[in-house]
Amino acid sequence: MKVLVTGGAGFIGSAVIRHILKNTPDFVVNVDKLTYAGNLESLASVSDSERYAFEQVDICDREALARVFRDHQPDAVMHLAAESHVDRSIDGPGDFIQTNIVGTYCLLEVARGYWQGLDAQRKAGFRFHHISTDEVYGDLEGPEHLFTEQTPYAPSSPYSASKASSDHLVRAWRRTFGLPTLITNCSNNYGPYHFPEKLIPLMILNALEGKPLPVYGKGNQVRDWLYVEDHARALYEVVTRGKIGETYNIGGHNEKQNIEVVRTLCGLLEELAPKKPAGVARYADLITFVADRPGHDHRYAINAGKIQRELGWTPRETFESGIRKTVHWYLDNLDWCRRVQDGSYRRERLGLRGNGN
């Protein structure tokens, strides 16, 4: 199988590509615009594979997308390209509307035209897998409630609203045009190669530099945490074995308050990086509570029973095992982090583009 992955230089997309190339015989075409969050260094371990090709293409460019489909003839699409940082969506919603809504529309139209031109056998096997977020559901009230595939949409931020819009487009293209689509909605991911603006890597790197660890409000917002390599396995199961037209929620079964996550990171750093910056007695002393962001959802939690029942997927990592692996990875890969922080990764892309086949 040849899989076209959009956003494959991003955090989750790169994990998906690494999983496919290391654990399956499939081919991968990575389509990525290479915005600030796209980092080809995250694919250095697989980029020399004869089964990997890279195309620097904006999903809003229909002509370029059509050429990619013609040249590579994919059997499936895994659509991960998206603007995804809530704070950035509040500061500048326009990029989120353009990429997440208009870009998804362009990709759907190009995929539809390509799919309609396939022979009967290849047409029957083609799949369009749209990867979304649990944030489209808004937030939950009581601790007993969980998001299911039937939970009504109630997005709170420009980011989640744009992802909800893209989910609706995918369903409409299935219903109206018959395009064979699947949708997954996941909880908060964490793990290796996470862009340093996100909570977990930001806390690790700030702590190591003796900088404040900013926590919104009282830090009592609850998130379900999913190790990114578990997510990549789930996504591959869905695109290869999921039922066309279905939605699958993917969660890590690890609900934690944000402040719990930060304190856990501080505790692990005390153990694994005991030599602290000058003037820091304990990493936890760096925790700083800041004004909450507008429209901040209080609690997300996923019921992942459907994907377990139908596809047999469950997460392998507990939060305790996954977060320890994550801290170890960042401590072992500080050079990668520094190149992202100083922007040099954007100047070193040319040698990591794949073989172009």
Whole-number pLDDT of residue 349:
52
Check whether 350 has a pLDDT greater than 50.
no
Q: To the nearest 10°, report the CA torsion of 37, 40, 41, 47.
A: 150
Asked if 61 is an active-site residue, the reply is: no
* 357 occurs within a structural domain: no
Q: Any idea what the CATH number is for the domain that residue 255 is in?
A: 3.40.50.720
Q: Contact, 210 vs 277, CB < 8 A? A: yes
Between residues 52 and 297, the one the model is more confident about: 52
The answer to whether 130 and 113 are in contact (CB under 8 A) is no
H/E stretch holding 2 reads strand 2-6
Can you give 86-134 as a three-state secondary structure string? HHHHHHCCHHHHHHHHHHHHHHHHHHHHHHHCCCHHHHHHCEEEEEEEH
For residue 75, pLDDT over 70 is answered with yes
**How is residue 305 written in tokens?**
């029973």
Gap between the Cα atoms of 49 and 7, Å rounded:
18
DSSP class of residue 243 equals P
Q: What is the pLDDT of residues 120-153, one digit of tens each?
A: 999 999 999 999 999 999 988 767 789 999 999 9
Q: Which residues pair with 190 in a beta bridge?
A: 227
Q: What letter would DSSP give residue 50?
A: T
Confidence bin at 351 (pLDDT 50/70/90): very low
153 is catalytic: no
**pLDDT band at residue 169 using 50, 70 and 90 as cut-offs:** very high
With bands split at pLDDT 50, 70 and 90, how would you rate the model's confidence at 348? low
In a domain, 236, yes or no: yes
Q: Which of 83, 135, 297, 317 is catalytic?
A: 135
Give the domain range for residue 269: 2-352
For the residues 74-92, what does the mean pLDDT come to? 91
Whether 313 is covered by a domain: the verdict is yes
pLDDT over threshold 60, residue 353: no
For 44, other C-beta atoms within 10 Å of its C-beta total: 14
pLDDT of residue 175: 98
Read off the pLDDT band of 195 (50, 70, 90): confident
**Residues 159, 190, 193, 227: which is the catalytic one?**
159
Give the pLDDT of residue 347.
63
DSSP 279-319: T-S-GGGGEEEEPPPTT---B--B--HHHHHHH----S--H
Q: Say how far apart CA 107 and CA 63 lie, in whole Å.
A: 10
Determine the average pLDDT of the residues in 230-253. Answer: 97
What is the total count of domains within the chain? 1
Strand-strand pairing, 222-227 and 255-257: antiparallel
Amino acid at 249: N
Per-residue pLDDT reduced to its tens digit, 290-325: 998 787 778 888 999 999 999 999 999 999 999 999
Q: How many CA atoms lie within 13 A of 342 on its CB side?
A: 8
Average pLDDT over residues 273-279: 95
Any domain includes 78: yes
In a domain, 334, yes or no: yes
The three-state secondary structure class of 215 is strand
Matching residue, tokens 């190339």:
21
Mapped to the 3 state alphabet, what secondary structure does 246-266 carry?
A: CEEEECCCCEEEHHHHHHHHH
What pTM did the predictor assign? 0.93
Is residue 113 assigned to a domain? yes
Whether 75 is covered by a domain: the verdict is yes
Annotated catalytic residue: which of 41, 55, 134, 167? 134
β-strands 27-31, 52-55 pairing = parallel
CA distances from 317 to 11, 89, 228, 329, 330 (A): 18, 30, 10, 15, 17
| 135 flagged as catalytic | yes
- Relative to beta strand 2-6, strand 247-250 is unpaired
